[in-house]
Chains A and B, each alone.
Chain A
Amino acid sequence: MSREQILANLRTSLNANRPWLQAEAERMPHEAPPFVLPAQDDVVGQFVAELAKLEGKAYRVASADEALAIIDRLIEETHATSVIGWDLDQIGLPGLPELLAARGITPAKADVRGEGRKARLQELEPIPICLSGAELAIAESGTLLLRHGPGKPRLASLLAPCHIAVIFRRQLVRGLGEALALLAQRYGDEIFGPTSNLTFITGPSRTADIEMTLSLGIHGPPQIHVIVVEG
């Protein structure tokens, strides 16, 4: 009933104002520019620099081995005995399963659905590391785009204080417009078919709510480490 009433009101209102709104709408093409800042030659360098400005860490490495060494060091630093992660083959870093196995780490599944939801969440809570890949990364803002879904849980970039993400050179685009166009090209109408959630992550969780003092990690990870594999 309310639906019909609201729609009827909208139609009446638009009888009066549609013409000027439509005229405003047509003043400009709506197509988003592929990127909005002056283009740089070295997109990897740009991504690394942007993330650093946000107090995130980005590493450009030439090989999978170098990437593994960084992950190994972070595991040691956080004394992790478990990680909340994507399915490892969704991350696609050669040698990662072996590294974790050698460290005695079995990635915890973020399988919180169903009856034991709250209990399972409490089990996941103490884990110090989130481990994910990404769909794309945006150079000019230092952003990761995660398309969640089966094997790619949202909690794997959210719950723990240290988020490690592995991406590859080919996943980098310059701007947001380009990223959205690429998504549409890849998935068409099925962007939200198998998944309920896409998330853009630009740096560590932050707040300035206490006296405008910048603080990291109020809710999401205070640390974000993005490893860009160029090889």
Chain B
Amino acid sequence: MPQTIAFFDRVDHALHDSSLQTALHRATTRFIGNRAGAIGALSDADRLRDQARAIRAHALAHLDELLPQLAANVETRGGHVCWASDGEEARRYIIELARARGVRSIVKSKSMASEEIHLNEALEEAGFEVVETDLGEYIIQLAGETPSHIIAPAIHKTREQVSELFQQHLGMPPTTEVPPMIRTARQALRQRFLQADMGISGVNFGVADSGAIVIVENEGNARLSTTVPRIHVAIMGIERIVARLADLGVMLQVLARSATGQKLSVYTSLISGPARPGEEDGPEEFHLILLDNGRSRILGGHYAESLLCIRCGACLNACPVYQAIGGHAYGGVYSGPIGAVLTPLLQPDLPDAYLLPQASSLCGACQEVCPVRIAIPDLLLRHRADAVKAGKFHPVEKAAIASYTLTMTHPAIYNAGGKAGRFFSRILARRGRFRRLPPPLHLWTKQRDFPALPPKSFREMWAERKKQRQSSS
């Protein structure tokens, strides 16, 4: 089973990459702290999250009405709408549009949906010049890599590595200071914007009652991508919708706080159609791609809850497994706990996608931080059960996950296991870096490289923790 080896190798590779380990540690700790501070400061955080969940559930429950409403409102405002069943239809629409309009260069701001359908590769193959303009995405595009984190795609790169890339591609004089690198990137990318014929963006929310799309960002590259070129194409997964403009009063607050700990992101753009007559700037054309790619079916199955996700990234940072292995090891576009749920659904052609739901200790940290309270551990367990039922596992793997098969069918054991797992990860997190995965995931790592037993037994740690608690009270 070569694919399986590939997956294990990615995990192993990640655990041995010391600069990745440092970066992951730095990023996830920072994000966790920022999020906790921002959520903690809210007058009623629990209520706001419950509201966010209710708003998203309402949107999904009425998706069959809200999508046509959104599309009709976009068209009323002079925009075009493309309903795309899959990536192929979306790619074809965009390529044909670009050809018909004589487009040469395209600027993109970060969009998970476009990564899901491998849009860049298709556009480049069709002869267009495509530039990712989010700084992190730009860095990894220069390096020819893929993002390692939803919110911070280039966290695995050190400043020295970035400096080298900029010297090589942008002719920057040697430096390891960050400000000159920022200035270099600003100048280089600014010219790309001014010369681009088309801007492609993602969508954080579609607002049905206003025919608007919402894009949140901190850099301003999405504003430039959607303002400067004469054509704007926005790609939206069909589930990313809210019914009313007023819903943003809840959604934007939980999104920014959960993602980066900000009260609001620096720029939140609400865009409805192309520039109106009398407006001095803005695009002449606006195209909204409504991408299904399996979502309409997922809505009917037992993974429907995953469609509530607003892609904030909080569950990634909170996950002890993600903290240890980073985004690349997951192999798909979506990483971390929610990626382990979504990738087998949205990118089922990835050969080892079915293994991703194993990449969790079921500690429950993801569900605890999720702004829309998705029961991610439950969804992971369902995947495991489905994969076993489908006969996907090799006998050796079966043995490794035998305990999970048991817990899947015995909720009481699962609960107990969840509690223990949560406790275990907290202890490891408190003790600093996670060098090994919690059991039974530690079976992934090659035993010759990693001690098979934790430095202290569970019992020892428990005793120590109890002592600490007593002395601090």
Q: Please list the residues of chain A having a beta carbon within 8 angstroms of any beta carbon in chain B.
A: 2-3, 5-7, 9-18, 21-22, 24-33, 36-38, 50, 54, 109-113, 117-118, 121-122, 125, 138, 140-143, 148-151, 153-155, 158, 175-177, 180-181, 183-184, 191-213, 215, 217-221
Chain B residues whose CB sits within 8 angstroms of the CB of A158 once the complex forms: 220, 223-224, 227
Q: Could you list 7 A-B pairs, sorted by A, with CB under 8 Å?
A: A10-B63, A149-B276, A155-B280, A180-B246, A192-B211, A210-B154, A212-B152
**Known: A209-B152, A215-B178, A220-B220. Is A17-B304 also a contact (CB below 8 A)?**
yes
**Known: A9-B296, A18-B61, A32-B249. Is A192-B272 also a contact (CB below 8 A)?**
yes
A117-B230 in contact (CB<8A): yes
A113-B85 in contact (CB<8A): no
Is B247 interfacial (CB-CB < 8 Å)? yes
Per-position binary interface string of chain B over residues 215-238, scored 1 when its CB falls under 8 Å from any chain A CB and 0 otherwise: 000111101100110100000001
A26-B54 in contact (CB<8A): yes
**Known: A209-B136, A219-B133. Is A14-B281 also a contact (CB below 8 A)?**
no
Select from chain B the residue with minimum beta-carbon distance to A9: B296
Chain A residues whose CB sits within 8 angstroms of the CB of B155 once the complex forms: 209, 212
Chain B residues whose CB sits within 8 angstroms of the CB of A17 once the complex forms: 60-61, 299-300, 304
Select from chain B the residue with minimum beta-carbon distance to A11: B64
Chain A residues whose CB sits within 8 angstroms of the CB of B262 once the complex forms: 202
A198-B270 in contact (CB<8A): yes
B210-A218 in contact (CB<8A): no
B250-A211 in contact (CB<8A): no
Kindly specify which of B122-130, B187-195, B395-403, B406-414 makes contact with the partner chain: B187-195
- In the bound complex, CA of A195 to CA of B61 (Å): 31
Is B269 interfacial (CB-CB < 8 Å)? yes
- In the bound complex, CA of A27 to CA of B179 (Å): 48
- In the bound complex, CA of A181 to CA of B248 (Å): 11
Chain B residues whose CB sits within 8 angstroms of the CB of A155 once the complex forms: 227-228, 280-281
A206-B55 in contact (CB<8A): no
A24-B253 in contact (CB<8A): no
B182-A207 in contact (CB<8A): yes
Is B278 interfacial (CB-CB < 8 Å)? yes
Total contacts A-B at CB 8 Å:
310
Is B67 interfacial (CB-CB < 8 Å)? yes
**Known: A24-B53, A31-B246. Is A200-B268 also a contact (CB below 8 A)?**
yes
Q: B31 CB to closest chain A CB, in angstroms? A: 9
A16-B276 in contact (CB<8A): no
**Known: A2-B83, A28-B54. Is A191-B210 also a contact (CB below 8 A)?**
yes
A180-B245 in contact (CB<8A): yes
A148-B290 in contact (CB<8A): no
Interface residues on B, range: 35 or more
Chain B residues whose CB sits within 8 angstroms of the CB of A220 once the complex forms: 219-220, 223-224, 266-267
Q: A214 CB to closest chain B CB, in angstroms? A: 9
Q: B81 CB to closest chain A CB, in angstroms? A: 8
B190-A125 in contact (CB<8A): yes
| Besides A158-B223, A197-B227, 16 new A-B residue pairs in contact (Cβ under 8 A), listed by A number | A32-B249, A122-B194, A140-B263, A141-B264, A154-B281, A158-B220, A176-B264, A180-B245, A193-B276, A202-B262, A202-B263, A209-B135, A210-B182, A212-B23, A212-B27, A220-B266
Q: B193 CB to closest chain A CB, in angstroms? A: 8
A21-B57 in contact (CB<8A): yes
**Known: A14-B61, A200-B268, A219-B133. Is A3-B280 also a contact (CB below 8 A)?**
no
B300-A14 in contact (CB<8A): yes
Residue from A28, A117, A198, A213 within 8 A of B53 (CB atoms) = A28
Chain B residues whose CB sits within 8 angstroms of the CB of A154 once the complex forms: 223, 227, 281-282
B159-A207 in contact (CB<8A): no
B266-A206 in contact (CB<8A): yes
Kindly specify which of B40-48, B311-319, B331-339, B362-370 makes contact with the partner chain: B40-48
Q: B465 CB to closest chain A CB, in angstroms? A: 30
Select from chain A the residue with minimum beta-carbon distance to B79: A196
Chain B residues whose CB sits within 8 angstroms of the CB of A217 once the complex forms: 182, 186
**Known: A6-B290, A28-B47, A192-B77. Is A211-B223 also a contact (CB below 8 A)?**
no
**Known: A154-B227, A211-B178, A217-B182. Is A196-B152 also a contact (CB below 8 A)?**
no
B54-A36 in contact (CB<8A): no
Is B50 interfacial (CB-CB < 8 Å)? yes
**Known: A195-B276, A201-B266, A220-B220. Is A16-B300 also a contact (CB below 8 A)?**
yes
Residue from B26, B42, B249, B253 within 8 A of A211 (CB atoms) = B26
Closest 9 CB pairs of A and B: A32-B249, A220-B220, A13-B300, A9-B296, A219-B220, A25-B58, A24-B57, A209-B136, A21-B61
Residue from A12, A181, A211 within 8 A of B23 (CB atoms) = A211
- In the bound complex, CA of A11 to CA of B61 (Å): 10
Is B377 interfacial (CB-CB < 8 Å)? no
